Amino acid sequence: MEMTIDDIKALIASDESRTLELKKTTGELKDGMHAACAFLNTEGGWLIFGVAPKSLKIIGQQVTDDTQRERVH
């Protein structure tokens, strides 16, 4: 399924639910992986990093080369 930026913004605007988990940074990766496992064991869902869960503001996420290497291994 191909999504546009407008599709993603609309998804974020719908707020967190059983099928949407928002995380501010990759520093919350462990919690995010718990949500991903829950999605895999149910009807599926979306895990989006770079969004402030309370304000629903898209803040983005800077990912360094070191962070990318850490996440791959």
pLDDT of residue 61: 83
C-alpha to C-alpha distance for 64 and 25, rounded to whole angstroms: 12
Give one word for 57, left, alpha or beta, with left for phi > 0 and alpha for psi -120 to 50: beta
How high is the pLDDT of residue 45?
Answer: 94
pTM of the shown model: 0.78
Domains of the chain, residue spans = 5-72
The per-residue pLDDT string of the chain (73 residues; one tens digit each, 9 = 90 and over) reads 799 999 999 999 998 999 999 999 888 988 999 999 999 999 999 999 999 989 999 999 887 888 777 766 5
Q: What is the pLDDT of residue 29?
A: 86
